Structure 1
Amino acid sequence: MAYQQTQPRYGHCDTYFVDSNDDGVYAARAEARERQRAISRMQQRALAEELTRVTAEEYQEDIMDHMEYMESQTQPDVASIDIQSEIQWFMRPYLLDFLVEAHAAFQLLPETLFLAVNLLDRYCSRRVVYKRHYQLVGCAALLIAAKYGDKKDRVPTVRELKSMCCSLYDDEMFTQMEWHVLQTLNWMVGHPTVDAFLQLALSEVAYDSEVEHLTLYIAEIALFHKEFVSTRPSVLARSALALARCILSRTQAKPSDWAGAYDPHTVMSLSNHLYQPSQVLSRKYASMHLSSVSATVDEFLQHQAQIARRAAAPPTPPATVVMEEQKPVAESYMGPQTPQKNHYGVVVQHGCMTPPITPENEQFGHGHMAKSQPLPIYPTTPTPDHPANMQHQPQYYHNSYLQPHQ
């Protein structure tokens, strides 16, 4: 029987790979399913946000009452810090400069810095702290605060903190100090910070990033001054927010709103400390992602100073009389200053850069600081100036560094 070649059933094909229109149909169906899943996720997210808003409004008063109760329970005692034998208030700004730099280096949340300073002050209210351990306590407070409320991938390690301290402390010292701080505070870490109250105040109005950044800048300036250590975070947040809105010419909150119930005396005190803030803070808030609010404050202060000079100058005085009459006006606007670090020669021990040793048996008074550098001219503030407000200015002293553990 002869072999007969039959006609192929599906016709002639030059390749084993056959194109089919079915692939396009399957791809369109997969794309439609993915689009439907994305729409479902967006709907679920919107529903969750709505439920969160409704629940927050329902329990808003209870949350606020609990936060105000906790801020009263976790406030440091200034009188106990006053009786410390070695650490003094003039050392605190230098330690805070270090904490601000470490906080910015690890890109931690704003509330972490406020919580770390609160833990530091609460520990110093209950324990005797030696001068050589002051920086170690600050590092332990920052580590606890980061573990408590910050992102896990940004929590600093002991090795990183040790490197920032120039290896002045051993690894075990960080662990022991962290445990000792927690034991001293009875493991009560939670504290309603200024940032927590600020977020509640900002939730009542449309979001404004510049107002938020300027409020945080003012609140962090307040960390450097003794008179605000005993101020409740809720009062400080509302007062700093009112001052920030005044500087940026924003509309103030209604007096009936929670954010509108600020303390005029606290606003006045905050405005008196806007001049010559910490150089570390000024650098930090000069960046664009923080709206360059430190430069905004400088421009505002210069503008207010010019207005004050024009208002105090006589209409048409002779040239000699102008110079004689403007001098007392400038002196009448003398304001307090934040102490700045002096430029010392760096001491090198074991190949590591360390801060100079604190001078012993030396008296640094406010009068000496006033003579060493001229005081700035400060303008009018949002509230009337009362002489009584200047009686409680913090007595910071100059010309000293922390002495870490050798």
Structure 2
Amino acid sequence: MAYQQSTQSRYGHCDSYFVDSHDDGIYAIRAEARERARAIARMQQRALAEDLSRITSEEYQEDIMDHMEHMESQTMPDVNSIDIQTEIQWFMRPYLLDFLVEAHAAFQLLPETLFLAVNLLDRYCSRRVVYKRHYQLVGCAALLIAAKYGDRKDRVPTVRELKSMCCSLYDDEMFTQMEWHVLQTLNWMIGHPTVDAFLQLALSELAYDPEVEHMTLYIAEIALFHKEFVSTRPSVLARSALALARCILSRTQAKTSEWAGVYDPQTVMSLSNHLYQSSQVLSRKYSSMHLSNVSTTVDDFLQRQAQIARRAAAPPTPPATITIEEPKPTTDAYLGPQTPQKTHYGAVMQHGCLTPPITPENEQFGQGNVAKAQVLPPHMYPSTPTPDHPSNVQQPQYYHNTYLQPQHV
């Protein structure tokens, strides 16, 4: 009884253990103010970190550039070693790269991930003998390693997803074993300054122009498909592609005193010559609005250049004279010389290269496949060296049809 009186005197009389409070609005306002203050503090910290990073990068800019140029010389593939591969040939490369470009776009990976994956693929092929049935597996392992190295964790593809994209041609353990074998072959040296890394350094000196950046990346990815650019350093390729992109978009070129203005004219000419041989997969990728629709811009530029070339090559118009035309014979008209017409291959590759790029097997090139074979259009990809074959064996003109047939390992 005494305890009850003491509690009542201390806390007062209360008929219920649940007390209705009318101050909930005040607590909500205070909580919202605290959350707003925290958000402002995070923004200030982020801005401060960016300023410190910019100041530090400017201070160590020369050291960073020297290290990147040293690393690119240490991590370049050897084209001569790839030439002596027994099974894989250069004509197989566009098919595999089309597959990697589609996979890279499907997983929404960073641009530098694609360049690093191709570098890992070429470096592995420079040191190991690769069978054509494992060529696609090596490409998937290189893409997986590159995504793990520098991309976001939530976008790294899983083995199950890669297996599905390869039509279940390889088991889960094969992806893991190939990934480990690639890392061991390269001595776990994955870091490589890509074209995108040098491009960001060149664009950091000027105002941000997304169209120039997307055009440069489009030209640099076109260069991945051709053998002559495999041994080109990324720093040279980035500056040359940037100069060509500015020319196509009618932008002013960088000064020769700047790092971005020192480009290789020969590389620029080689890149411009390969604009006509762009992959259909790349054209579809860069025809989207979020990539500034640069593939359509390149097509319009090439059409304008062709019209200018035709006008320059056209003969002068002769003066108008009155002439009497003699009747032309109709029976012997076929005896005159005729200009041969080139065949069109538009119906062969309407939707780009099919994927996955399964490599052909030797037993598929028998006499029974001659009727079903199709010739690869020469304007799609440049001719590549192939090993000499006896005269009684079919040449690789039948690879296009059989190369795309799915096979099981």
Provide closer, same or farther for how the CA distance between residues 221 and 65 of structure 1 changes in structure 2, counting only shifts above 3 A: same
| Superposition deviation, residue 304 in structure 1 | 1.1
1: CA distance, partners of 2:211 / 2:81: 37
- Name the counterpart of 1:115: 116
Question: Retained in 2: the 8 A contact 1:166–1:354?
Answer: no
The alpha-carbon distance between structure 1 residues 404 and 374, as it changes in their structure 2 partners (threshold 3 A), is closer
- RMSD between aligned alpha carbons? 3.3
Q: CA deviation at 1:313?
A: 1.7
Shift of 1:141: 0.7
- Does the alignment pair 1:270 with 2:271? yes
> Does the Cα contact within 8 Å between 2:220 and 2:241 map onto a contact in 1?
yes
Q: TM-score, normalised by structure 2?
A: 0.76
Which residue of structure 1 lines up, in the alignment, with residue 181 of structure 2? 180
Counterpart amino acid of residue 98 in structure 1: F
What is the CA distance between 1:153 and its match in structure 2?
1.1
Q: Spell out the pairing of 1:273-288 with structure 2 (5 A cutoff).
A: 273-288=274-289
CA deviation after TM superposition for structure 1 residue 375, in Å:
5.9
Which amino acid in the other structure matches residue 189 of structure 1?
I
Q: Deviations over 1:138-181 (max 9, x none)?
A: 11111111111111111111111111111111111111111111
Query: 1:294 is matched with which residue?
Result: 295
Corresponding residue number in structure 1 for 2:231: 230
Deviation at 1:33, TM superposition (A): 3.6
Task: Deviation per CA, 1:261-300: give whole Å up to 9, x if none.
Answer: 1110000000000003111111111111111111110001
Distance in 1 of aligned mates of 2:376 and 2:186? 40
State the match for 2:47 in structure 1.
Answer: 46
- Residue number in structure 2 paired with 1:336: none
Letter aligned with residue 172 of structure 2: D
The alignment-based identity, stated in percent, is 81
Residue 36 of structure 1 is matched in structure 2 by 37
Cα deviation, residue 315, structure 1:
3.2
Pair 1:78–1:52, CA change in 2 (3 A): same
State the TM-score, normalized to the length of structure 1: 0.77
- Unaligned residue ranges in structure 2 (runs of 5+): 1-17, 321-339, 341-347, 368-373, 387-396
Deviation by residue 1:198-250 (Cα, 9 ceiling, x = unmatched): 11111111111111111110000000000000000000001001100110111
After superposing the two structures, state which structure 1 stretch, 264-273 or 163-172, moved more: 163-172
Whole-Å separation in 1 of the counterparts to 2:31 and 2:316: 81
Aligned to 1:104: 105
Q: Distance in 1 between matches of 2:232 and 2:408?
A: 32
The 8 Å contact of residues 195 and 237 in structure 1, kept in 2 or not, is answered as yes
Write out aligned runs for 1:6-405 (5 A): 25-317=26-318, 357=361, 360=365, 395=384, 400=399, 401=403
- Structure 1 gaps of 5+ residues are 1-15, 320-330, 332-339, 347-351, 363-368, 377-392
**Residue type matched to 2:59 in 1?**
E
SS at match of 1:275: helix
- What is the one-letter code of the residue matched to 2:72? E
SS in 2 for 1:273: helix
Give the number of aligned pairs: 344
Q: Aligned-pair distance for 1:342? A: 9.5
Does the residue aligned with 1:274 lie in a helix, a strand or coil? Answer: helix
Please give the alpha-carbon distance, in whole angstroms, between the structure 2 residues aligned to 1:128 and 1:173.
Answer: 17
